[in-house]
Chain A
Amino acid sequence: MFELKPMLSALWRNKISALLIAVQLALTLAIVSNATVIVQDRLEKMARPTGIAVSDIISVTFMPVPVNYDMAGAVAADLELLRNMPGVVDATVTNQIPLSGSGSASTYFTEPNQEIGGENANYYQTDEHFIDTLGLNLVAGRNFTRADFDVIGPNDTYEPRVAIITQKFADVMFPGEDAVGKYFYSGGDGEPREIIGVVERHLGAWPSWSKAGQVAFYPLLVTGNHKRYLIRTEPGQRDTVYKQIEEKLAERDPQRVIHLDTLSKRMAQSYISDNVMVKVLSAVMTLLTFIVALGIIGLTIFWINQRNKQIGVRRALGATRANISRYFLVENTLIAGAGLAIGMAAAQVINHFMVNQFSQPVLSIPTLLVCALILLGVSVTAALVPAIRAANISPAMATRSV
C-alpha cells in the first residue's frame, strides 16, 4: 500500500538530498527541544505564585535631606498618613522591596553557635502591617504585635527576638514539624529567634535565586539614611492612589527625595532577562522551524519537478491522485522520521551537556516527543502543497516526449 520498500530503495539512490533534510530536521529538533525546555523553565518561573498581591502594591523609597533626621518619627507619621488615604488597604515599612532583585539574606541554623549546615533565607525588617499590606496568608501562629516591634539605630547591635517565616523556609529548617514555637539562629551567634508565625508564601527579593521563597520577617525598624514603604490599594485603585502619594508625602514633609514605583513594574524588571530569553529563544525556534519547512517545501518541489515524467507514468499505470500525494507524503515522513530519530538522540546529548555545564533544566521525554511530533507535523504540512500539486500532474505526461 505505501510502497515502503521501493520508496526506501529510491531514497537510498538519492540519499544526499534526503540526508540534508534529515540532518536539518535533526539539528532543528535538537535545538528546538532544548530551547523549549529553557523557555518552559523560564515561563514556569515567571508564572510562579509570589504569595503577594503584586498588582495592588505601590513601593515608596525616600531619602531625607537633613542630616539629623527623625526617621522613626517620620516613618510613624508617613504610615499614619498613608493608611488613612482613600483607596489604601494598608501600608508597611520595609528594608527592601520584594521581587525587586535587591534584598538582604543571611544563613540560619537550628542550633546555637552552629557554623555549618545552615540554610539561606532572604530577610525583611518590617512591622505588624506587612501581612495585610502584602496580602500574605498566615497559615500558622500569629502576626507581630506593636509590642514585638523595635526601633534601633543603624550602628546598634541587636538580635530580633521573634520572627515570622515562610512555609518553604519552615519546611527546610524543620522538615515535617510545626515550626511555630521553635527557635533558629543567625550564623555564629547564640541568640534565639522564636518563630511566632508562618506565612504560606513569599517569593522574596530575588525570583531567580535557587532559595527563592525562603524568607524571614522581623518586627524591626533600623533608622538610617533612607526608608521604604509598601502601600496596598483597593483593587483597581492603584493608579489613582499612586498619583496622590508623592504629593501627600511631600506636603507632610518636603525635606526629602521621594521615588515611587509599582510592584508590578519592579517584578517585571526582575524578570527582564527571563522575558528576553523567552522571546529570543521563541524567535529562534520559530525561525528554525520556518527554515526547515522551507527546506522541505523546496526539496519536495525539486523532487516533484525532477519526477514529473515518473509521476505521469505512475498515473498512466493506474495510480490515483491520492496514491501520488500519499507517495510524497510518506516519502517525506520517512525522511522526517529518520531525521527526528537522530535529532532525539542529539537533543539528549546536547541537554546532558547543558545540564552539566550550565545547570539548564533536564529535557523530559514527553517534551522531546511533543517537539518531535510538532516538527513531524510541520514537515508533513510543508510537503502537503507540493504533494497535492504532484497529484495534479496529468497521466498524459507519460506519452510526452519532452
Chain B
Amino acid sequence: MLKMHNIRKSYRTDTIETHALRDFSLQVNEGEFVSVTGPSGSGKTTFLNIAGLLETPTGGQYLLDGEDVSSLNDRDRSRLRNEKIGFIFQGFNLIPDLNLFDNIDVPLRYRGFNAKERKKRIEKVLEQVGLSARAKHLPAQLSGGQQQRVAIARALAGEPRFLLADEPTGNLDSLMARQVMELLEFINEWGTTIVMVTHDPDLARRAHRNIQIVDGQVSDLQHGTIGAAREIA
C-alpha cells in the first residue's frame, strides 16, 4: 500500500539545514493498522506529511498503491490525496463556518461527485459515526469527541484506501479517546489501511504494528498481531 525507500526531507534556511527524515524506509501493507510513535521533533509529522502527499520529499522514492508519487505535480498530488487518502487531524480541523453536512461535503465536492451521490455518502458516514441527527449543527455546537467523529466521517466519505491519523485522540479525554480508537479499529476491520501518529503508548500498542521514529529515522520496527505488539511493548 505504502512503500518508502530512503526518503529524505530537509528544511533549509539561509544558515541552517535541518534533516527531518534521513534514509527513511518503510512499507505498510494493505489492511494494516500501523502506529507511529517517537519523541517530539523526531520527524513523525514530517513522515505523516510526506505519506499524505502534503509535502514532497527532498530525496528517495515513495510508492503509494504501486504508483511512484515522489515527483508528481501539485494537481496530481491533490487528486491522489482526495481519492486515496483520508486525513484525521489532532485538532479536528473542521471548518467552523460550515455545518457537519457541509464539512463532510468539502472533499466530495473536490472529487466532483454530483449532489445526489454526495448526499448519499454524507448521510451514510454520519450514520456510521452516530451523528445523523446533528447534520445541521455547527462544529462549535459539538463536543471534542463528536467533532473528531465528524472529522473521521469526512475522511471516510470519499472511501479512501488509506487513512492517516495525526494524534487523533490528542485533544480528547480518555473516554472520548477510547470511543474514537474503537471507531478507527472498526474502520480498519472494513479493510482501510491506517497509519496513526500518536504519543500515547496505550493507543500505539493497539495497532498491528508500531514504528518508532527517532532523529528522522525508523529506530524500531515491531511486526506482529495486536496481541504480539502488546506483548513486545
Chain A interface (Cβ < 8 Å from any Cβ of B): 1, 3, 5-6, 9-10, 13-14, 309-310, 313-321, 323, 394-396, 398-399, 401
Complex-state Cα separation, A319 to B80, whole angstroms: 11
Complex-state Cα separation, A64 to B55, whole angstroms: 93
Complex-state Cα separation, A68 to B95, whole angstroms: 97
Contact assessment for B48 and A399 in the assembled complex, using a CB-CB cutoff below 8 Å: yes
With contacts A6-B105, A14-B97, A401-B90 taken as known, whether A318 is within 8 angstroms of B54 at the C-beta atoms is no
Contact assessment for B110 and A316 in the assembled complex, using a CB-CB cutoff below 8 Å: no
Please indicate the chain A residues that have their CB under 8 angstroms from the CB of B25 in the complex.
Answer: none
Please indicate the chain B residues that have their CB under 8 angstroms from the CB of A9 in the complex.
Answer: 97-99, 102
Contact assessment for B87 and A317 in the assembled complex, using a CB-CB cutoff below 8 Å: yes
Q: Does B38 contact A (CB under 8 A)?
A: no
Please give me the residue from chain A that is nearest to B84 by CB atom: A318
Contact assessment for A318 and B98 in the assembled complex, using a CB-CB cutoff below 8 Å: no
Chain B interface (Cβ < 8 Å from any Cβ of A): 45, 48-49, 52-55, 74-75, 78-79, 81-83, 87, 89-91, 93, 95, 97-99, 102, 105-107, 109-111, 154, 158, 166
Q: Whole-angstrom distance from the CB of A12 to the nearest CB of chain B?
A: 9
Complex-state Cα separation, A101 to B62, whole angstroms: 84
Please give me the residue from chain A that is nearest to B94 by CB atom: A313
Please indicate the chain B residues that have their CB under 8 angstroms from the CB of A396 in the complex.
Answer: 49, 54-55
Please indicate the chain A residues that have their CB under 8 angstroms from the CB of B48 in the complex.
Answer: 399
Give 28 A-B contacts (CB < 8 Å), ordered by A residue.
Answer: A3-B109, A6-B102, A9-B102, A10-B95, A10-B97, A10-B98, A310-B93, A315-B54, A316-B52, A316-B93, A317-B106, A317-B110, A318-B78, A318-B107, A319-B78, A320-B78, A320-B110, A321-B74, A323-B78, A395-B53, A395-B54, A395-B55, A395-B78, A396-B54, A398-B54, A398-B93, A399-B54, A401-B90
Selected contact of A318 from candidates B89, B95, B110, CB within 8 Å: B110
Please indicate the chain B residues that have their CB under 8 angstroms from the CB of A5 in the complex.
Answer: 102
Please indicate the chain B residues that have their CB under 8 angstroms from the CB of A395 in the complex.
Answer: 53-55, 78, 81
Complex-state Cα separation, A1 to B107, whole angstroms: 11
With contacts A396-B55, A398-B87 taken as known, whether A320 is within 8 angstroms of B49 at the C-beta atoms is no
Contact assessment for A310 and B95 in the assembled complex, using a CB-CB cutoff below 8 Å: yes
Contact assessment for B54 and A323 in the assembled complex, using a CB-CB cutoff below 8 Å: no
Please indicate the chain B residues that have their CB under 8 angstroms from the CB of A13 in the complex.
Answer: 97
Q: Whole-angstrom distance from the CB of A388 to the nearest CB of chain B?
A: 14
Contact assessment for A399 and B102 in the assembled complex, using a CB-CB cutoff below 8 Å: no
Please indicate the chain A residues that have their CB under 8 angstroms from the CB of B106 in the complex.
Answer: 6, 314, 317
Contact assessment for A317 and B98 in the assembled complex, using a CB-CB cutoff below 8 Å: no
Complex-state Cα separation, A399 to B106, whole angstroms: 18
Contact assessment for A394 and B54 in the assembled complex, using a CB-CB cutoff below 8 Å: yes
Q: Whole-angstrom distance from the CB of B101 to the nearest CB of chain A?
A: 9
With contacts A398-B89, A399-B89, A401-B90 taken as known, whether A319 is within 8 angstroms of B110 at the C-beta atoms is yes
Complex-state Cα separation, A288 to B198, whole angstroms: 54
Contact assessment for B55 and A394 in the assembled complex, using a CB-CB cutoff below 8 Å: yes
